[in-house]
Amino acid sequence: MSSEADWNLPAADFYRRTQTKPVAISKCKFLIPKASFLPELKSALIQFEEVLRRRDDREIKYEWADIRLNNLTVTFSINWYDAVFFEERKKAYLVGAHPFVFQRFGVQPRQIKISHVLL
């Protein structure tokens, strides 16, 4: 059942503008433990997507797509446009700053379900 907190954020700008086909797509899903995290989470997702969008087209190796919240479940896709970059970075959510970002919203990286599809 939908609530007013459900949302669908704009993303996949590079794909829409250029019709460049991804070489892989990662489907990501995680559960936010408390609704109180949602405003900050939405703000962070919008900010990060805006940073990705400011890159020059020649520098785009990936982008986010289909960012959605339904109840407390967040889903999004990552369109990968460079096969080598995909192989090097497909587990980036487990290292560096990523775990700390997810912890801000009560999510441990190992709780994120990700499936990769090579195209």
CA distance 41 to 35: 10
Is residue 61 in a domain? yes
* 8 Å CB contact between 69 and 7: yes
Report the Cα–Cα distance between both ends of the chain, in Å, rounded. 33
Is residue 1 in a domain? no
pLDDT, residue 58, reads 93
Residue 65 structure tokens: 């797509």
Domain of 60 in residue numbering reads as 7-118
How large a percentage of the chain has pLDDT more than 90?
A: 76
Residue 3 in this model has a pLDDT that exceeds 80:
no
Instruction: Write the pLDDT tens digit of every residue in 58-116.
Output: 999 999 999 999 999 999 999 999 999 999 999 999 999 989 989 999 999 999 999 99
Is residue 31 in a domain? yes
Residue 72 structure tokens: 């407390």
Q: Quick one: DSSP state of residue 71?
A: T
Q: Work out how many domains the chain is built from and give that number.
A: 1
Is residue 95 in a domain? yes
CA distance 92 to 13: 22
Is residue 100 in a domain? yes
List the CATH number of the domain containing 113. 3.30.70.100
- Lowest mean per-residue pLDDT among 5-14, 52-61, 87-96: 5-14
Q: In the structure, what pLDDT confidence band is assigned to residue 2 with cuts at 50, 70 and 90?
A: very low
Is residue 14 in a domain? yes
pLDDT, residue 20, reads 96
- Rounded to two decimals, what is the model's pTM? 0.89
Is residue 82 in a domain? yes
Residue count of the chain: 119
Tokens 């080598």 belong to residue: 84
CA distance 2 to 53: 29
